[in-house]
Structure 1
């Protein structure tokens, strides 16, 4: 007994109870072997680690612990959550990668009580996609933290909550490289985001049922898609409505510089040149546009389409004797009339010239869908006015039907019957529509050669008075005087340029247009000046009226240069479908007044272009703003 008591005595002589406890512990430890002690220690450490991991990856949804909040709350990638957000994002990314590797089929829920930019979960709510409305996401082919379960359809947000990428964008599969094609009608050209993680910086919750689950994403105003390993495909051409203002202004300034160079190059040589004294020369680089390339040409002028076999008449260019005409550059002319209205007013010969210019200009525009008739018309013979819009240049090229430049009228005679008259004292009805135009090209002439106007019996009217008989030249003078007074009163010469195109010669042989006149055998121009017709008396009247005007009007005296071109008319190639009577006598019905296109009116427009190079800079800057 005494020996046992001595064995368990405390070394320093402590109390009895303490001595007994210590002795018991020592005896217990002494009883445990070294191997069992090591195994017990390892098990304890593993249990602690497992418990810690469980708490780390399955925190309480409503936890208030700052430690948990810092690790598991989503940080705003753009700094919306302050300085700690980036650190939190790094911790979350590391833990999520480990967890997804260890438990590949598990899903991870994040707390919804984020700071600014977070969208809380709602029962039955749709996925709020910051990129596009109606964006359909196909199944994911790569595993990543917070991934969307296979075959899950992500619904779109409300229209009002859309971010910078437009509606109706369709996105392809979320593959490893995250290549998202931007679909039709999308206006954004690129997507932003982070590496190897789809929507890594957005709060999303996956439900317990992965097939039918919905995912809530934050508002796209602050958060966008991942950047690295994502390739954004640009939208199709049809989706791009306009270039950015900076690019547009750069393009405009570049084009404007080229136009200035063109003006400097040509202005001095053209200033004192007589454009109308010259000759037709063969030029293999003509015509200015390929035959058949302009579907805007009326059937009446489309000779090649109507079966005309010879084409040499399209290879002639007008060459003044004392200068060279610049080749009409459609891009330069469009830049010159940017923000302006160019208007043709007159008869069907001015329509001939108008269609020629529209085809030349349209052919120089890259996107021809941006060139259209304002009212959607495709035929130009039945209405009183037409306007082609060149949207990229904010300009229009218009035509107003007014064959006499004064009004056609009706009166009731003593017997109560109506009869047509021509009001020599009233300018055409459409005048209010074009009086503010920047460039106006007038003409009249052919309708004054018809039987009714030539005879002048009971046809011409001033006020309430109808002349029993009036000479056609006097009537023509009165009509032009009415027109000239209107121009002087309504056109501001500081803001508008006015042109008057002269009479275009006809080449009927053996009769007139309604009496068997023909020109179908003509394939070459007149080369001997002695065969040209005398200068028309009506154009002499016109010159006298123009000299008496206050407003400066440029006279485009194309009569002589056109008279050479007996080969340029449609003749029998004026239409495709002939009536029964026309088939029986095809040579009887010919057009030797109008011109085939491409053809002579293209040269009229080249002279107009030369005149504008010289005179357009005199106008005040009155361009319309886009």
Structure 2
């Protein structure tokens, strides 16, 4: 029994040991199998999430684990997968694919406020290419506000609509400028932002941010563009553009060379009077036509002819004054006519071809149902005649009566007045037995006082007859003359001048008569915009007709051509074109103010 028990104990001990060995072996194999199954399931689950866009886009866990902080939510699945492994195996020799930067779903377009805003319209060349004084459109990448592009905003005032551009064959974007049916395309590798107005489509291009020499990036979709248009960015952009002009002294600046001028080819406009047509009169140099006026605190928008014609649709624009206003009137007619395809639809109402001796003239732009007119009135008050003691007639100037044609233009939509040069002539400057009020003729009256009386009569007429809700009134200031060695009738010359004055110390003193004008305008009820072009014209001693004022000289003029020069008026194309560019800018300002008032009333 003892032996049996001993044997059983030995046998049992062997059996238990064998069972323990078997269970140990089984436990080791189960653990390995379970581990393999778990790893296989984990890899399958990971691949499922990595290649399932609908899943990973909505899983914050996935985004936190599988997306690095510098990678946008729109990165490719391959990039995400690489990022995943790099986070777990930082020392791996596997190369990491860095994704090309992309724009976030909601692209931020900002137009920072600045009084130094660049205004460029189609065809304008910006001489300050360094980016100084330019409006900026910035596209921010993701939420890190990294600037990827800066561009100059090129547009007249209007509603800004952001739209996408089409892909070009070279892999870039087409920069498209649409102007009067002509499309000009230039290719830029970048995101194109089209700034659209009522009458012109202008494109500014934002370059894509390059990555490792590639042209990676993304473009704004049409859906994004439509969302952006009409929004706060567009509104702010318009306010910035207008704010720059409204808070800028347009008349304090300098002339800069610009080969994109003039607005019309020399000799192409048959409407210019002979005395202004320096090109046809044989002037050999042409640099006087290639300058633009640049204010110190802002840039003038280039005159957009089609846009201005739209502003004038169904309206009358009238110039009243002396031959310097005729100079400006002819300039504007030629600028606008040049943009009209069918020139036969631009004509003088009475069929006139010369305007120097005419009391009034009116050019009709048939397609726009508008007119650009001129009424001759050198003093703005009435020139008069009274019987003299010997039976002849004596000329006087009625300081108390507005000029005769006033009833013909008082209902016009835009009126531009001027006077000044005839007040410097001998009869008016001496003021003896010439100035009249009522039946009284002054034996002698200072010309400054006579000028004040005449302007007071004009101001009272404007206040009594002009409806400011319908009519915009402008007064163009005195245009500088540059006679050297004498006056206009005593051998004054300017024929050897080919460059503008660049040193301000050589400019003339501000005319006292213009201070009289400013004082009179301050006392008016009707708002009058002052086109103070005196200083800007004082620089331009190079731009007068001088000896190139006519083609057919008289025998006396041929013997002494230098004695007969015109250093008062201006060659066309030339300086008066810039006056009209300023007038255009002022009209944009007025239009913007009117729109703001209407919005406030609503």
Query: Superposed, which structure 2 residues align to 1:80-99 within 5 Å?
Result: none
Which residue number corresponds to residue 283 of structure 2? Answer: 308
Alignment of 1:217-616 (within 5 A): 255=198, 266-616=241-591
How far apart are residue 417 of structure 1 and its match?
2.2
Task: Answer yes or no: is the 8 Å Cα contact 2:267–2:279 preserved in 1.
Answer: yes
Structure 1 residues 263, 423: closer, same or farther in 2, change over 3 A? farther
Deviation at 1:416, TM superposition (A): 2.4
Q: Once the 2 structures are TM-superposed, how far is the Cα of residue 605 of structure 1 from its aligned partner?
A: 0.6
Shift of 1:256: 5.6
8 Å contact kept, 2:199–2:306 = no
Please report the TM-score for the alignment, with normalisation by the length of structure 2.
0.60
1:609 aligned counterpart, secondary structure: helix
1:7 is matched with none
The count of residues paired between Structure 1 and Structure 2 equals 368
3-state SS of paired residue (1:493):
coil
For residue 571 of structure 1, report the CA deviation from its aligned partner: 0.2
Q: CA distance change for structure 1 residues 546 and 440 in 2, over 3 Å: closer, same or farther?
A: same
The 8 Å contact of residues 475 and 530 in structure 2, kept in 1 or not, is answered as yes
Q: Aligned pair in 2 of structure 1 residues 351, 574: CA closer, same or farther (>3 Å)?
A: same
CA distance in structure 1 between the aligned counterparts of 2:512 and 2:449, rounded to whole angstroms:
11
Mapped contact 2:459–2:521 kept (Cα < 8 A):
yes
What is the SS of the residue equivalent to 2:404?
coil
Cα deviation for residue 405 of structure 1 reads 0.1
The answer for unaligned runs of 5 or more in structure 1 is: 1-252, 621-626
Measured against aligned partners, the alpha-carbon deviations of 1:231-272 in whole angstroms (never above 9, x if no partner) come to: xxxxxxxxxxxxxxxxxxxxxx98468799997673222111
Give the 3 Å change call, closer, same or farther, for CA 341–265 of structure 1 in structure 2.
Answer: farther
Q: Is the 8 A contact 1:494 1:618 kept in 2?
A: no
The answer to whether the Cα contact below 8 Å between 1:494 and 1:619 also exists between their aligned partners in 2 is no
Cα distance, 1:478 vs structure 2: 0.2
How far apart are the structure 2 equivalents of 1:322 and 1:553? 23
CA RMSD of aligned residues (A): 1.9
**Is the 8 Å Cα contact of residues 266 and 613 (structure 1) preserved in structure 2?**
no
For 2:594 and 2:357, locate their aligned partners in 1 and report how far apart those are by CA, in whole Å: 34
| Distance in 2 of aligned mates of 1:312 and 1:266 | 30
| Structure number having the greater strand percentage | 2
Structure 1 residues 257 and 301, CA gap change in structure 2 (3 angstroms) = closer
Q: Secondary structure at the match of 1:430?
A: helix
Question: Post-superposition shift, 1:415?
Answer: 3.0
* SS at 1:318 equivalent: strand
Structure-1 separation of matches of 2:238 and 2:395: 48
Measure, in 2, the Cα distance between the counterparts of 1:349 and 1:447. Answer: 10
Cα distance in 2 between the residues matched to 1:555 and 1:383: 27
Gaps of 5+ in 2: 1-195, 203-229, 596-602
CA displacement 1:282-310 (0-9 Å, x = unmatched): 11111111111111111100001100001
Quick one: distance in 1 between partners of 2:241 and 2:474?
20
Q: Distance in 1 between matches of 2:591 and 2:329?
A: 19
Deviation at 1:618, TM superposition (A): 5.2
Partners of 2:367 and 2:401 lie apart in 1 by 37
Bigger Rg, structure 1 or 2: 1
SS in 2 for 1:398: strand
Measure the CA separation in 1 of the matches of 2:341 and 2:458: 39
Contact 1:289 / 1:359 at 8 angstroms: preserved in 2? yes
Q: Distance in 2 between matches of 1:366 and 1:258?
A: 19
Secondary structure at the aligned position of 1:332 is classed as helix
Q: Distance in 2 between matches of 1:292 and 1:500?
A: 29
Instruction: Give 1:443 shift.
Output: 0.2
Kept in 1, the 8 Å contact 2:320–2:374? The answer is yes
**What secondary structure, in the 3-state scheme, does the structure 1 residue paired with 2:552 have?**
coil
